[in-house]
A and B are shown apart, each in its own frame.
Chain A
Amino acid sequence: MLDHHTIEKYELGWLVVALVLIAMLFAGVLASMISETVPGFFGTKAQYIDPAKLSQTPFATPGLKTGPDGALDAYIVATAFQFQPNVLRVPAGRPVTLHMVSTDVIHGLLLGQGNVNVELIPGQVAVITKVFDHPGSYTSECNEYCGTGHQTMSFKLIVEAAK
């Protein structure tokens, strides 16, 4: 049987291995984030809109809007138990800025593409700029429990190939 000093020596070695592994993991994840595999690493600013006063904001008419400079902005409003719009069409290969907000309780949305997974806390606006590369139709549903109709709160993202 090994004596406890020897075992402790091995275990200290294992502790060093563990530390190195953790350092590598942290560096790897950080590198991935900096290379924007996850949208919103840079330049996200907390924005708050009073959910009772959406009519004075672009959220009054949810959907995709093209700005004068051609920039694409999509406004999505989550309310129990539907997303407005519940089908969003975006062109492939162009940056789209998604603006999402909930008006009542917490909702959540995971888009089938592009690592967009947001928790929609009432009034806290999520702003994410993303290029959707792959044309197709992606279904999803509200992913934070919001009440009896939670499972009917669906959303579809349609990425259309450039014409």
Chain B
Amino acid sequence: MTTTVSPALRPTEQVYAGHPEKKVTLYFLVTGLVLLLIGVAIGPLQALNYAGIDVYRYLPFLKSYYQGLSLHGVLNALVFTTYFISGLLLYLPCRALKVRPNLLVAWGAYWTMTAGVLMAAAALLTNNATLLYTFYPPLQGSPLFYIGAALLVVGSLIIGVQVIVIWTQWKRQHPGEITPLVAFMSVATWMMWLIASLGLVVEVVFLLIPWSLGWVKGVDPLLARTLFWYTGHPIVYFWVMPAYISWYALLPGQAGGKIASETMARLSFVLFLLLSTPVGLHHQFADTGISMSWKVIQMLLTFLVVIPSLLTAFSVGASLEIAARLRGGGGWVGWIRHLPWKDPVFTAQVLAMVSFIPGGAGGIVNASIALDSEVHNTAWIPGHFHITVGTATTLTFFAVSFWLLPHLTRKPLASVKGALWASWLWFWGMIIFAIGMHWEGLIGIPRRTYLATATGLGDMLARAQIPMALTGISGMVLMVASIFYFSVIFRTLLGRQRVAESAEVPIPVSESLEQFEAREAGLSAAGMKVAGAVRLMERLWIFFALALALVVLMYLPMLIGMVLNTHLLPGQRLW
């Protein structure tokens, strides 16, 4: 006799039985979110500081504004994103290719990353790495911080290489087949990250770790800075591309429509792979010791990376319009009302995209040498990246968590209303924040300064009353938003109820218009005509090699010059 166990009572392990990679994915996502919670909790303090209100003096556990800011920046921008992306871009391509990843490798990556984060956290929490997330030498932190940072990146690279290997094997086993869109985009993203992370790895492993351990006497600050920004700009594409994967390949279906054009979607990822890396110099327009010609060339390349983003705006807009018209919408703009605004998965992503419009436009300003000189190192810059990585990416990841956590755990989302409130409040909080900070930046107020106790900015502060108030208010809005968000997430994760396997939230992979038309015409998936461009783009290794060649061309001569002409400086601890 067999006993049937009701779905609600199944032991936990069985949830992952069919797909054990679900568990490691869940660990990546949840660890990332818990660390984000800590980083986000410090956010309102930073915002209040930019409103001229000093809360730090009352906090026994943070020595200074700068320690708080170091934690906020490292946890939110580096740690959360890396965990979330490693989980997401392992799971999605493996499911799309119907391949189970080697779990030992995946767990190895997870624990490498976590060991690194614990080491870095120990240094940060004891005030031994108050370096901000850019850790420019010759400010010198504890070796634990640098080793931890290196392990974090190594963990992500393990996952990246694993996904690329899985795809290469899949290609060998499926000659002539076209890689599913989600897997194609994930592989392109990991290939980009493989090239882009080199700078940071070299900086940390060869310069900073030996120097902080006292094995070498000095480090060249200009060389270290150049290596840092070699990774430091493409890392933002590493943050944005997973969001684009969701917008391109998942959102159209979630909205009830089709992917407008698979060919163009693939093209934009190939462009990202080619152009993302040789652009880091636009963070160094104000640096002396780098020739203007290199700066101008990399400015042009930075402008060119705008193109895949403009393509994305077109494509995603078109797929949403298709969705709305299929849902019965009409008119020039009237269709917008017919989109599923009551679904937080949809709404959070659309708000993320909206924030990316001013975010991207501000990025073009920062990349223009003539305009950058007005805003470099001012409050404008954090204003900019809070509506790009802080909203376009983060709010998209919130949307992903609203379906992916229920999918992985088979626990239903605790509150749809709460998730909607979290999304709207996060969006408006960030918009208000961005208005305040961009405005303060134009007045000339520097970024990341303990403004509440600044002594030399008297007349500027007098002119910045309104934007400073906006920044302070936004911090409070964002605090409420994060309470909504994390309570929905933790109530979901801690919920007892599990749905049956048959009622599992599906992976929302969208159909493309090409596939839809072929299906309508009665063609099978195999019989579908594939565009020549798609076949060409399947050769991702060629584009990888081209991207690598372009980076070598754009960076090697400059780096050789710096290496031949180093000026080593000892470390300083000034906090």
By a beta-carbon cutoff of 8 Å, the part of chain A in contact with chain B is 1-4, 7-8, 10-11, 14-15, 18-19, 22, 25-26, 29-30, 32-33, 37-38, 40-41, 44, 46-48, 50-51, 80-81, 104-106, 108, 110, 112, 115-127, 137, 139-156
Looking at A1, A80, A115, which has the most chain B CB atoms within 10 Å of its CB? A1
Q: Please tell me if the beta carbons of A4 and B377 are within 8 angstroms of each other in the complex.
A: no
Asked if A152 and B454 sit within 8 Å, CB to CB, the answer is yes
B552 within 8 Å of A (CB atoms): no
B424 to chain A minimum Cβ distance, whole angstroms, is: 30
- B322 beta carbon closer than 8 Å to chain A: yes
Contact, CB under 8 Å: B132 / A145: yes
* Interface residue tally on B, bucketed by range: 35 or more
The answer to whether A104 and B138 touch across the interface, beta carbons within 8 angstroms, is: yes
For window 133-181 of B, CB contacts with A under 8 Å fall at: 134, 136, 138-139
Asked whether A110 lies within 8 Å of B306 as measured between CB atoms, the reply is: no
**CA separation between A81 and B326, bound complex, in Å?**
63
Residues of chain A lying within 8 A (CB to CB) of residue B288 = 44, 46-47, 118-121, 124-127
Known: A104-B572, A141-B446. A4 touches B286 (CB 8 A): no
Q: A104-B138, A117-B286, A151-B449 are in contact. Are A143 and B377 (CB under 8 A)?
A: yes
Residues of B within 8 A of A124 (CB): 222, 287-289
Q: Give CA–CA (A80, B514) in the complex, Å.
A: 62
Q: Is the CB of A18 within 8 A of B374?
A: no
Query: For chain A, what secondary structure do more than half of its interface residues adopt (helix, strand, loop), or is it mixed?
Result: mixed
Compute how far the CA of A1 lies from the CA of B369 in the bound complex, rounded to whole angstroms: 44
Bound complex: CA A141 to CA B453 (Å)? 12
- B221 CB contacts on chain A under 8 angstroms: 105-106, 121-122
B468 to chain A, nearest CB (A): 15
Q: In the bound complex, what is the Cα–Cα distance between A81 and B459 (angstroms)?
A: 21
What residues of chain B have their CB less than 8 Å away from a CB belonging to chain A?
Answer: 64, 66, 132, 134, 136, 138-139, 221-222, 225, 260-261, 263-264, 284, 286-292, 296, 299-300, 303-304, 306-307, 310-311, 314-315, 318, 322, 325-326, 364, 368-374, 376-378, 444, 446-451, 453-460, 512-514, 517, 565, 567, 569, 572, 574-575
Name the contact of B318 in the complex, choosing from A11, A30, A81, A125 (C-beta under 8 A). A11
Q: When the two chains form the complex, which single residue of A7, A22, A105, A127 contacts B260, counting CB atoms closer than 8 Å?
A: A7
Question: How many Å from the CB of A152 to the closest CB on chain B?
Answer: 5
Contact among A11, A19, A144, A153 for B315, CB-based, below 8 A = A11
> Are B299 and A26 in contact, with the CB atoms below 8 A?
yes
Q: Which residues of chain A have C-beta atoms less than 8 A from B368's C-beta?
A: 25, 29
Are B455 and A121 closer than 8 Å at their CB atoms?
Answer: no
Report the minimum CB–CB distance from A98 to chain B (whole Å): 11
